[in-house]
Structure 1
Amino acid sequence: MSETYDVVIAGSGAAGMAAAVRAQDLGLTVLVLEKAHKFGGTSATSGGVLWIPNHGLGTDDSREETMRYLDGVIGGPVRRDRLEAFVDEGPNMVRYLQSIGMQLQVMPWSDYFSEAAGARADRSLVCPMYDGRKLGRELHVMREQFTRFKLLNRYTMDFGEAFGISSKAPGWKRQLACVVGRYWADLGTRGVTRRDRLLSLGGALIGPMRKRLLDRGVEVRLGATVKALEVTHGRVTGVEIEHLGQRRIIGARHGVVVCAGGFEWNQELRNHYFSLPGDTTWSSTPEEANRGEVLQAGLDIGADVEFMETGWWVPTMRRPIDGVSNFDEIHQAVFDVGRPHSVCVNRNGDRFVDEACGYDRFGNAMIQDQLKTGMNAPCWLVFDAAFRRKFTAGGYMPSPIMPDRKIAPDHWDHYIFKAPTVVELAKKIALDPGKLQQVVAKMNEYARTGVDPEFGRGSTDYDRSFGDATVKPNPNLGPIDQAPFYAIQINLGDLGTKGGLKADARARVLDTQGRPIPGLYAAGNASGSPFGNCYPGAGGTIGPAMVFGYIAANDIAEHARAARLTSQALTSVSD
């Protein structure tokens, strides 16, 4: 082997970077491999939120409250030791991040099952906006945010700005002017690139993590795809990669950590494992990024898998890329589906869920309805002119920012539908006009009373936190009565897969007999979720990803120290 490191990490997202920084700080040599030509993985394009309960950042959360919540909301099988390892090591990982200068802010977001015992609104952490100039030239090879997280595909916004502008909250015009103004005032960056140097959301997490790797001299090798795992005498001792069209083997003295994401862009694996396969193009992760290559490499050496039937679900919609109409782009409709003045129906014209619930719960409801009726996935979001003025609808900004006349002609009646009456809209989208009229009439009555007797929309803290406080008596229920009326198709999208290589509480990958495979670790969406099919709160993907990356580095360092002491003892005896 021409190259050998103590630790080789596949994947440059949050899990891989957490493992890499920690391993380097514990005295190990590290190489990070990234198959894409930009680093950051799905994490860089995400919201960058970490769900870390009992994190110790000024709240009174506790381990007991955390376990009470998780035990109440996890409906399927999980492994207790792995779940408890996440809960116990999460605070330690947070303290470590603080010790290396990472800034973390507590966000007042309700857990996704806010009605459950032990739920709180302070377990999600984010990083403040980060100045990308600190990365130097590395800024240009960092994966860029999707257009859905940038204003007009140009301007960086933090969470407060994004929510304020998209919902036209009080002071939204001032926020808009600030966002646009600071971009154009940055003359130095404008002379080099169109890209905003300020990094927010996932970029605000990945940017400073990459800076810490740079400071430690850790290489992130781009365009390097792991094709196979090298095994010597039953131990994983390296990886075979393809880089610049050539294959080579890179050695790993003490461990390989698989952090290369899931398999949501592999239709064959989706068809084989998912209970409802859906389509790769519904996914909201970077196109063709996570195809499960390292998952397959693990299977090839006898690794086991778990929770492969499901993903981290999120409602999405498609629309053409602005200025490139032959190519579609995926947009999330995370909060849009639960805003007032709207309703979601399946292709029979029936409601099937509290539309304002957490996006993963929404996706699971789509699956259950599809399996029951065969008329969901995709479904429809129907809304009126009042909604259109106030809120986003997938990739369509509110009408004060994106009036109907600014929507390209080829979008109409293909991606977004519009009609002067509910009946005519129903005919356009192949729904029973009478039934859609009845559903809208019911929603209007629910808006008047403030009570949704069918699904309880607007009855939980989570629902209400993303409603419209100006709408009374229920912020999630507004009448659907202002013409014209609109509809967009909602797909069963995802933020990645919940299933992957089966790993234990120490992040060690297990074989089909339940035994750890020496030298092989996994974290993030490359491994099975510690929550099974549950999505407990905002950051429920990245939080565990970083915690188990941290755990993997600790375990590798412990074994490396033990091996070193054994070697020293043997040398002493031989002398």
Structure 2
Amino acid sequence: MEQQVDVVVVGSGAGALLTAVRAADEGLKVLVVEKAALVGGTSATSGGGIWIPDNHDMPRAGLRDSVETAFRYVKACARGLSSDERILAYVESARHMARYLADIGVPYRCVPRYADYYPGVPGALPGGRTMDPLDFNARRLGAQGLQQMRPTNPGQLIFGRMHINAFEAQSMLAREFKSRFTLLGIMARYFLDYPWRWQTRRDRRLTGGQALVGGLLAALRQRDIPLWLESPLQSLLLEDGQVAGVTVQREGRLQRVRAARAVVLAAGGFERNQAMREQYLPKPTDQAWTATPPGGNTGDAIRAGATAGAALHLMSHTWGAPTLEVPKEDRFRAVFVERSLPGCMVVNRLGRRFVNESCPYPEFQQAMFASHERGEGAVPAWIVFDADFRARYPIGPLMPASAVPDAKLRRSWLGTVYWKDDTLQGLARQIGVDPQGLVASAQRMGEFARSGVDPDFGRGANVFDRYYGDAHVKPNPNLAPIAKAPFYAMKLHPGDIGTKGGLLTDHDARVLDAGGRPIEGLYCIGNNAASVMGPSYPGAGSTLGPAMTFGFRAVARIVGKPVALERTDLLRQPVAEAA
């Protein structure tokens, strides 16, 4: 039996869910189809941040922004690989989308001190554009509803159980005085949360991507929007050159669903498809290195769109991030912030540093590839730290030794998750790097720590680097000696949190063919589409923010009320490119 709706949304991440909710609010009959058995996609395992220029919460924090400033910044970052119209559409509409999120029960607040990722590019701000979701009470979903949602990554939980938001995480990493009381409060609230604790081990207080997806799922359920799980897309229905629906596999058989108005593809990228990685991405490449959930993001919707005539763009780019392996976890962990903490360094096979360890994670990943291509052996690379670092800071699955000493770590982790030796030379031999190079790099780091200046890579010289530094460490919060035994190392791979290439779209998320013409009835958002940010990562939330904003704009176009571009005077004006 053939189903008939107005809009079919493929995927169940943040962009997909917001699009479905917005379409229902516009009076459309919507169906969401999801490949996996759980709701939320990669969004549910993310930090939940959204990058929203000139957002409604900035004035509360005493911050100012403008569409023009944000446009010039993103255009410089995009390096000519995203159209001016798409960039303008994003920076104009993102703030309206953020207000709509609050209206449907998913409020956000700006993070005043979280800087844009490229502080030296004109138009960058020292904080405020990244927004973090307010905590979400899972009681709105109920314990059974929560079980329908994909859990977050273990690395985003305290002791593998308790949620923590961006403000609390930054406070703890910076070792602010109040953070110890914050941690005690989080633990007390979790363990004393009865009767919820009798129903599920999962935390009732959701933060980050869990709060975002939890709020959107609650909004979806309030509107009685049907959601088909375990229903992977098989193909698009094409009639007279336009997309008229989808074919999905459901309950062991093919099911055709006609879409009177549109199909919106929001099913993620292709990072879990090794064949597509080999075809498009820099080498070496391995789907195991990605930090996204296994089983999804295999490029099905990208291939379906290409079969329908869609143009592809940015297919050689990823949202890069260094990752490490933790035994018995189903995916690698991304190493986002620990690299910024003082007392660590990252080296290649020569034992030499090759990057500012505190730089944005996409640039870190690209530096790994560049060093490797020079024959220096940076795939894998090694993050090296000493006993002082180990005592004070978390890294990957290791909590600070002051809380969880080595004696309490799993024995199997020694030599697999971390390596340890009483000397740097001995550590170098264990991990296969040049001992003299490693010793020299550590000595040089000690000199930098004393002077507060890193003349090699400029670590700690900008506001972004310092955000996750340790304010107690002077004169540079990102630099400290690596001198106290024992010494440690962990293996880093050039992983990612998704691919950023996909179907080429216009400023309303309409999919374009090779001639730049819209394919009628087909829209695409999120990592399913080529990123509006081009090859760059302007700030935290540059994936989720555009995914939801272009879903917001797509619905307006679908119902015949497209959102007009306002500052068209900015289009095609030259701006300085990002360095």
State whether TM-score is above 0.5. yes
CA distance in 1, matches of 2:473, 2:106: 39
Give the match for residue 399 of structure 2.
Answer: 397
Contact 2:459–2:465 under 8 Å retained in 1: yes
Aligned positions of 1:35-434 closer than 5 A: 35-57=35-57, 58=59, 59-108=63-112, 109-120=114-125, 121-136=127-142, 137-166=144-173, 168-321=175-328, 329-373=331-375, 375-434=377-436
Cα deviation, residue 16, structure 1:
0.4
CA distance in 1, matches of 2:104, 2:179: 35
Letter matched to residue 139 of structure 2: R
Letter matched to residue 196 of structure 1: D
Letter matched to residue 67 of structure 2: R
Greater mean alpha carbon deviation, residues 373-382 or residues 414-423: 373-382
Q: Secondary structure at the match of 2:107?
A: coil
CA distance in 1, matches of 2:183, 2:53: 33
Distance change in 2, residues 1:412/1:167 (3 Å): farther
Contact 1:68–1:118 under 8 Å retained in 2: yes
Q: Secondary structure at the match of 2:195?
A: helix
CA distance in 1, matches of 2:381, 2:402: 27
What is the TM-score of this pair, normalised by structure 1?
Answer: 0.94
Q: Secondary structure at the match of 2:167?
A: helix
CA distance in 1, matches of 2:123, 2:133: 25
Give the match for residue 524 of structure 1.
Answer: 526
Give the match for residue 464 of structure 1.
Answer: 466
Cα deviation, residue 97, structure 1:
2.4
Aligned positions of 1:431-450 closer than 5 A: 431-450=433-452
Letter matched to residue 144 of structure 1: P
Q: What is the CA deviation profile of residues 48-69 of structure 1, one whole-angstrom value per residue up to 9, with x for unaligned ones?
A: 0010111233242001211232
Give the match for residue 566 of structure 2.
Answer: none
Aligned positions of 1:494-509 closer than 5 A: 494-509=496-511
Cα deviation, residue 167, structure 1:
5.2
Letter matched to residue 246 of structure 1: R
Greater mean alpha carbon deviation, residues 383-392 or residues 93-102: 93-102
Letter matched to residue 195 of structure 1: R
Cα deviation, residue 365, structure 1:
1.4
Contact 1:265–1:290 under 8 Å retained in 2: yes
Contact 1:167–1:391 under 8 Å retained in 2: no
Q: What is the CA deviation profile of residues 268-293 of structure 1, one whole-angstrom value per residue up to 9, with x for unaligned ones?
A: 00000012352111111111211111
CA distance in 1, matches of 2:434, 2:147: 50
Contact 1:393–1:488 under 8 Å retained in 2: no
CA distance in 2, matches of 1:555, 1:93: 15
Q: What is the CA deviation profile of residues 2-48 of structure 1, one whole-angstrom value per residue up to 9, with x for unaligned ones?
A: 21110000011111012111111111111111111110111111000
Distance change in 2, residues 1:167/1:269 (3 Å): same
Cα deviation, residue 496, structure 1:
0.5
Cα deviation, residue 559, structure 1:
7.6
Contact 2:348–2:376 under 8 Å retained in 1: no
Q: What is the CA deviation profile of residues 90-132 of structure 1, one whole-angstrom value per residue up to 9, with x for unaligned ones?
A: 1221232233343110112100012322211110112111111
Contact 1:40–1:206 under 8 Å retained in 2: yes
Give the share of equivalent positions with the same residue, in percent: 40
Letter matched to residue 306 of structure 1: H
Give the match for residue 570 of structure 2.
Answer: none
Distance change in 2, residues 1:129/1:64 (3 Å): same
Kindly report structure 1 stretches of 4+ aligned residues shifted beyond 4 Å: none
Structure 2 residue ranges without an equivalent (≥5) = 563-579
Greater mean alpha carbon deviation, residues 407-416 or residues 368-377: 368-377
CA distance in 2, matches of 1:96, 1:337: 35
CA distance in 2, matches of 1:100, 1:431: 53
Cα deviation, residue 461, structure 1:
0.3
Give the match for residue 451 of structure 1.
Answer: 453
Cα deviation, residue 371, structure 1:
2.4
Greater mean alpha carbon deviation, residues 453-462 or residues 165-174: 165-174
Contact 1:167–1:392 under 8 Å retained in 2: no
Q: Secondary structure at the match of 1:254?
A: strand
Give the match for residue 569 of structure 2.
Answer: none
CA distance in 1, matches of 2:49, 2:30: 25
Contact 1:236–1:255 under 8 Å retained in 2: yes
Q: Secondary structure at the match of 2:199?
A: coil
Q: Secondary structure at the match of 1:95?
A: helix
Contact 2:385–2:488 under 8 Å retained in 1: yes
Letter matched to residue 13 of structure 1: G
Cα deviation, residue 206, structure 1:
1.0
Distance change in 2, residues 1:5/1:277 (3 Å): farther
Q: What is the CA deviation profile of residues 192-242 of structure 1, one whole-angstrom value per residue up to 9, with x for unaligned ones?
A: 111112111001111111111111111121111111001111111111001
Contact 2:293–2:331 under 8 Å retained in 1: no
Cα deviation, residue 164, structure 1:
3.5
Q: Secondary structure at the match of 1:180?
A: helix
CA distance in 1, matches of 2:334, 2:484: 25
Q: Once superposed, what is the RMSD of the aligned Cα atoms?
A: 1.6
Cα deviation, residue 166, structure 1:
4.8
What is the TM-score of this pair, normalised by structure 2?
Answer: 0.93
Contact 1:317–1:395 under 8 Å retained in 2: no
How many aligned residue pairs are there? 555
Q: What is the CA deviation profile of residues 524-574 of structure 1, one whole-angstrom value per residue up to 9, with x for unaligned ones?
A: 0000000111000010110001001111111111189xxxxxxxxxxxxxx
Give the match for residue 488 of structure 1.
Answer: 490
Greater mean alpha carbon deviation, residues 114-123 or residues 304-313: 114-123
Q: What is the CA deviation profile of residues 281-335 of structure 1, one whole-angstrom value per residue up to 9, with x for unaligned ones?
A: 11111112111111111112221110010110111111213xxxxx664222111
Greater mean alpha carbon deviation, residues 8-17 or residues 150-159: 150-159
CA distance in 2, matches of 1:205, 1:251: 29
Letter matched to residue 345 of structure 2: V
Q: Secondary structure at the match of 2:559?
A: helix
Give the match for residue 32 of structure 2.
Answer: 32
CA distance in 1, matches of 2:234, 2:397: 36
Letter matched to residue 255 of structure 2: R
Distance change in 2, residues 1:361/1:76 (3 Å): farther
Letter matched to residue 133 of structure 1: R
Letter matched to residue 2 of structure 1: E
CA distance in 1, matches of 2:502, 2:42: 16
Q: What is the CA deviation profile of residues 238-287 of structure 1, one whole-angstrom value per residue up to 9, with x for unaligned ones?
A: 11001122111111000000000000000000000012352111111111
Q: Secondary structure at the match of 1:380?
A: strand
CA distance in 1, matches of 2:240, 2:75: 41
